């Protein structure tokens, strides 16, 4: 069966140079696959050395042949995939912060509804809690009564007792 995607030995120095300049572990593993493929190793040998499945190796080589080295070694995903910036989130929470300072009870559902209105789509339940944690909000609830508080009758009875 003929190889559909091939990497010539002339491309090996460029791949090696890109691998040396790279700092991302994932991309380093991908470039290692390309180096081994360009060196003439089979998919089975590459799979044994890198731990990738043979099909995935074929996909990696095909992707390299389609887009080239520059696009291949570019990291597509960054860490911040938030809907708003930190300053926009802080501005949204500012109105609720004023209400909280006055002692009013604020429900997360209200904040979530205004957040969804601002971003224009629904968000998951956990996302709003991550937003609140990012801005150092925490759940503070007043306790209705102390769990070990004596009943009113016991308090009155203890007042009547006189200990000499």
Where in the chain are the domains?
9-72, 86-134
Compute the chain's Rg from CA coordinates. Answer: 31
Overall average pLDDT of the 37-42 stretch = 90
Predicted pLDDT at 1: 43
How do residues 77-127 score in pLDDT, each as one tens digit?
A: 655 667 888 899 999 999 898 888 888 888 899 999 999 999 988 988 888
Pick the most confident of 65-74, 106-115, 141-150: 106-115
| Higher-scoring residue by pLDDT: 5, 58 | 58
Predicted pLDDT at 78: 58
């Amino acid at each position: 069966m003929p190889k559909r995607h091939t990497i010539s030995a002339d491309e090996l120095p460029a791949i090696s140079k890109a691998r040396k300049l790279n700092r991302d572990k994932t991309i380093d593993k991908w470039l290692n696959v390309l180096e081994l493929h360009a060196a003439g190793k089979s998919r089975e040998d590459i799979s044994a050395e890198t731990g990738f499945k043979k099909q995935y190796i074929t996909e990696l080589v095909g992707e390299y042949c389609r887009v080239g080295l520059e696009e291949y070694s570019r990291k597509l995903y960054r860490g911040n995939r938030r809907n708003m910036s930190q300053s926009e989130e802080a501005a949204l929470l500012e109105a609720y912060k004023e209400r909280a300072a006055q002692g009013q009870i604020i429900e997360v559902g209200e904040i979530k509804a205004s957040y969804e209105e601002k971003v224009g789509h629904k968000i998951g339940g956990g996302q709003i809690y991550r937003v609140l944690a990012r801005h150092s909000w925490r759940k503070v609830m007043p306790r209705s009564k102390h769990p070990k508080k004596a009943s009113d009758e016991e308090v009155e009875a203890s007042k009547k007792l006189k200990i000499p």
